[in-house]
Amino acid sequence: MFLVDSKLATRSLAPGKKVYGEKTASVDGEEYRFWDPYRSKLSAAILNGLKQMPIKPGSSVLYLGAASGTTPSHVSDIVGKNGFVLAVEFAPRSMRDLLKVAEDWENIFPVMADARRPQDYKKFVEGKVDVVYEDVADPSQAEIMVKNSEEFLKKGGHAMIAIKSQSIDVSKKPEEVYEQVLRAFGAKFEILQKMSIMPYDKDHLFVLMRFR
């Protein structure tokens, strides 16, 4: 990650290509893609003071809820050619867009599957991953994270989740939903940081955890 003209950016693995109409800049012959925090919860968390960024060059990342590939493409830029991003998405239309992104960001491996059923894509993962990242609009967000971490995440590896209160229970206050989800993680995770991503997105809690 870099600051270019005081804005968050990643060095592009696919110069000349764009994913969501993002602006780019050239610095010393390298192309950088500006990372829009209004389009990416991870970018919003970083700008709001995420204290530790476990996704690094060479990291292996299981990305749950990859959608059309906006944030996965930036994660791809970060992990570089020696890392990989297994991008799980359930919606056919989003998967079509994600496949196009993966043609240019070649370390992204798209898998059309239900994140609630990690056994369906177990065959695509060799060993354990460094990071599980979840951005899934589903009432069972906590269960999805626990199942996938137990199956794929290294002990001591990191989990990152954007808890969407309105997708879990619209009848409760967001704070009540957050506490409910955090309790569901129990003793399996050490919570390192939890934070709002306002003003970029409302009714979300971004959480960084370590898998015990």
Positions of the chain with pLDDT under 50? none
- What per-residue confidence (pLDDT) applies to 24? 97
Helices (H), 48-201: 70-79, 92-104, 141-152, 165-168, 174-185
Q: State the DSSP code for 114.
A: -
pTM, full prediction = 0.94
Q: Which residues contact 78 (CB under 8 A, 6 or more apart)?
A: 1, 10, 55, 56, 57, 59
- What per-residue confidence (pLDDT) applies to 132? 98
Percent of the chain residues topping a pLDDT of 90 = 86
How far apart, in Å, are the Cα atoms of 160 and each of 50, 86, 192?
A: 11, 15, 10
Ordered domains of the chain (ranges, CATH)? 37-211 (3.40.50.150)
- What per-residue confidence (pLDDT) applies to 186? 83
pLDDT in tens, 131-176: 999 999 888 999 999 999 999 999 999 999 999 988 888 888 888 8
| 83, 60 Cβ separation under 8 angstroms | yes
